[in-house]
Structure 1
């Protein structure tokens, strides 16, 4: 715990907690829409923005925000128009985004170390300015996801019903796309573009095993995100491991533990539940 006396570790912990709270708050809607991997696709496009920023000596984060937003909006428009499947649109972003990012970084004067910072995160290098940006944007994403929960849930659950109910379906879908781009961008320095999708999806998948309602699942997922983020930073500080990877592995470990315990609990309940008394069919009833 002595390491957390240093300002850079305090900033790393706060930044991780903010992202651990915001990512599942958004991720539950992506899981509901069966777009669990959109974070990866948008992250790859953000990497192209990073490369463009490094090549033209501009802010890599700002360029990543622009590229990620354009990529997320493109996915949504392609999906809504139905001209190609969501999986195909994601695949195009996967391959084009990572290839464009690597090529642009190679054309710039930056070293591979700069690329690894955005690919896998560099949580301990967060500056006070970075932390302020992460805190403001992360809090905004969390508040918006909570405040618009009924409308967003309706759109993600059944778009036709939401449209008939008078909800602005196109606007809400674009809002989710932009929120995904912003979340991916602020999480680049924490867990990296290759791992952010896991922090959006894994806590939600874990919560779904022990909860039933949407609101309870959302609350449990955000709690698990906080646990994975805080615990991952603590593990990284004590074991000298990469913070981003530690956060994601702890989230996956939580999923496995809950899955195993849930399976054991169902077995125990099945064994302790008495067999139902057989009811005779009407044809078997003998009238006396």
Structure 2
């Protein structure tokens, strides 16, 4: 009787998965095939983008329109529930927009296949994802690159010495979920994976919020030194990670409320970005304001590239 009950529960769950959970990206008639080297610039345009998680639920993004130049670094900030992660979900089409569009280098991402889209973008997630296998298969799962290229990105991500000391080196075992590596080392391996692919668009989804200060510094330094020309969206938990971004996008309740350079936004003392800065504490806020006013952005956007 117990076995029958368990089997019926399994069938019930399967039916729920089949009928109640939204499916990803249905086939689109006459889907576009992007050029081989798309995106070449990494320019992103959002036009009146709106998104909800399921039909009948409230919108979590509301009429977001903006342009990001190729090679620009844009910080995405806002309080909890503002829509920061929802924007990332739309970019990778993990959730389809309710209306509006996202274009990368002029191509509507809703008109290409999920494979074409996701194979051309990179992400460093908040929780580093590693798979049971080897160091090499985690960095280069499709064996598309040479050992020399893999070692080069390990050096740039500050892991060459660590991997060189492992039994088997590139063929060293990685446990399920990467449990035989520290959280910081897992995040650096994810960074090596991104460096190897050299995509023109990279999203960092609060990628340094779970690592220590030293690892955070290593990641930020590698990005500045080795990802010049990459369009970078930083979904920020720590305001200091975007204080020298090209521009900062501020979301509130799913709406774009501010979008400008950090220094320009701080000229509005009653603005949303200024409020987020002040919430970090008086001493830290003063430090961040000095940084914003004294620094130029660490990447130079390719304005008017198109």
TM-score, with structure 2 as normaliser: 0.25
Pick the structure with greater CA Rg. Answer: 1
Where relative contact order (Cα < 8 A, 6+ residues apart) is larger, the structure is 1
TM-score, with structure 1 as normaliser: 0.26
Structure number with the higher helix fraction is 1
